[in-house]
Each structure stands twice: as C-alpha cells, then as structure tokens.
Amino acid sequence: MTYVTGATGFTGRFVVDALLEAGEECRCLVRDSDEGRRVLPPSVDLVVGRLDDPAVLPGLADAEAVVHVAPIAICEGLLKACEEVGVSRAVYFSSTWGVSSVRTPEAEAVVAGEARVMAAGDAWTVLRPTMIYGSGDKNVSRLRRWIRARRVVPILDGGNRLVQPVYVGDVAQAVAGVLRRQSTHGRAYEVAGPEPMTYSQMVDEIAAFEDRRIVKVYLPGSLCALAGRVFGSVTGHPDLSDQICRMREDRAFSIDRACDDFAYHPRSFADGLACSGQSEHTA
C-alpha cells in the first residue's frame, strides 16, 4: 500500500490516478474527508491528519511506500513519522526552484527540504518538476484564459528566456515509473517537457491552439523587477518580485537521466494542451 500526501491538490489527483492504474493501493492523508471523498476515486482509503502534527501520521504504519506530493519544504514531520514506523521507501516532490540561481526564501526552503530527505537513508527518490500545466493549473491555464479574453499579451524581457512546461499527466506517470524501481533510489530527477522553448514561443503555441490573433507587448525586465520590489516593500509580500526574477532566467533542464532510468517520455506542449481538453473553455 502506498501512502500519499497532497493527494487532493491539482497534481496529487493525477498522481493518485496514475498509481491506481499501475496497480497500487493508495491511502491518502487529507485534512478534510468530505473534500477527499469528493475529488478522489472511491477505491482510495482516506485518513484525516496534518503533516505538521508531531504525532505519528494516521494509517502510515502498514504502508510499504510514501509519495509526498505536498511541498518538500514541509517534509520534516513525515520523515520523523516514517522513521518511527519503519517506512523507508519514499518519492518526494521537489521543485526546480532548488536549482535556480535566484536565491529566494522559497528556493532556500526547497534546498533545505531536499537536504533533510537526502540525509534520511538511501531509499528516497526526488522529482523536480518544471512548470506543471493541465486543465485548471495556475500558469498555462491562466494564460490561456487571458488569451481567449484579450488580444494584448504582455511579455517580460523580450520573451527570450527558455521554459520547459510539463503536462501534469506525465509528472504523475513519472511517479508511477520510479516508485517500484530500486535503481532510482537515492537519485534526483528533473521532470520537464521534451524540449525547451522561449516564453514567447509558448505564448504563440497557446494562441495558435486557441485560434487567436494576439499582439505581444514587450516589457523591460529591469523595470518590472523594480516594480516588483516596490510592491513587495509596500505590501510586505516579496513573492511577485521573486517570481519576476525567476522569469528572467532560463528554466530549461535535461531529462536524459529520467528517460534512461525509468523510460520517461513526456508529450509535446501541443499534445499537452490538447490533453487539457475542452474543460479549459468552461473554466
């Protein structure tokens, strides 16, 4: 039986589906059983608890493995609980924030979380997805809705920075691919789309998929970064400034190791948009 955290989130639901398709039995830690029952398949066993609860997590003792879809920055309680009940095999969701040259509190939290995981035995696998997209995500779906509603699209820094978005279903399949492979123990993998593209190219592909003619307005990155810093200092929330800085660096990664080690073969961006389905148009 596989114990899953973060199962009711956008990515977590796909992960649970992929694990069930692979023949795994799943037990999901949820905060609200009603929400869990509403969004997760009926065959899934639910236990109610919190990752920040210092007690042993409910239902963990008889698990064979853990899939931690919740942020790796909040892994400490889970690590302690796994040690206490003797569960060693675990797959952890990290982020490419951890290998970013932009050092922000979010990036530092990811790095610290990975360090804690990697110090806890050798039966872990860390997955570092890039920008995850699919119907209802907070990045590409928002951009699609913007393009459907407006013809003018603002583009930061000339739109020449590389991105490598990955379809959520491919991320979920990566979890199923590594879970029972001992050869992936003690390894971290970047999980991205098949090849990088510029941000401007990504916008063009979305516009073509939506059959929309758009006008791209290019905004100076330095001016946006300054505006983000001012906004952060005034509001006390530096997140926007951090995100702008992150957008000003290339976010492209090799997936060769993942392809070699667990036959990871992500679909193209165009195919991923198609897989997102018509539900985007009713979102």
CATH number at residue 8: 3.40.50.720
Which residue range is the domain that position 83 belongs to? 2-133+165-192+252-267
Domain for residue 232, yes or no? no
Residue-wise over 72-87: b if at least 16 C-beta within 10 A, else e? bbebbbbbebbeeeeb
Helix (H, G, I), strand (E, B) or coil at 222: helix
Q: What is the pLDDT of residue 229?
A: 58
Q: How far apart are CA 90 and CA 82, in angstroms?
A: 9
Q: Do the domain assignments include residue 148?
A: no
Q: Is residue 91 part of a domain?
A: yes
Q: Which two tokens stand for residue 57?
A: 């997590």
Answer yes or no: is 156 within a domain: no
Per-10-residue mean pLDDT for the chain, 283 residues long? 97 98 97 96 96 84 97 94 95 86 81 95 96 93 94 88 96 97 97 96 96 90 59 60 66 94 96 76 40
Displacement of CA 48 from its chain's centroid (Å) = 23
Q: Residue 248: its pLDDT value, please?
A: 63
Residue 64: closest CA among 120, 123, 141:
123
Residue 213: inside a domain: no
Q: Is residue 176 part of a domain?
A: yes
**Residue 143 forms part of a structural domain:** no
> Does some domain include residue 92?
yes
Report whether 217 contacts 154 (CB < 8 A): yes
The number of domains in the chain is 1
- Number of neighbouring beta carbons within 10 Å of residue 204: 16
pTM over 0.85: yes
Q: For residues 192 and 161, what is the distance between their CA atoms, to the nearest angstrom?
A: 16
**225-239: string of b/e by CB count within 10 Å (b at 16+)?**
beebbeebeeeeebe
Q: What is the pLDDT of residue 181?
A: 97
Outline where the chain has alpha helix (H): 10-21, 33-39, 76-85, 105-118, 140-149, 168-179, 199-209, 221-235, 239-247, 256-262, 269-276
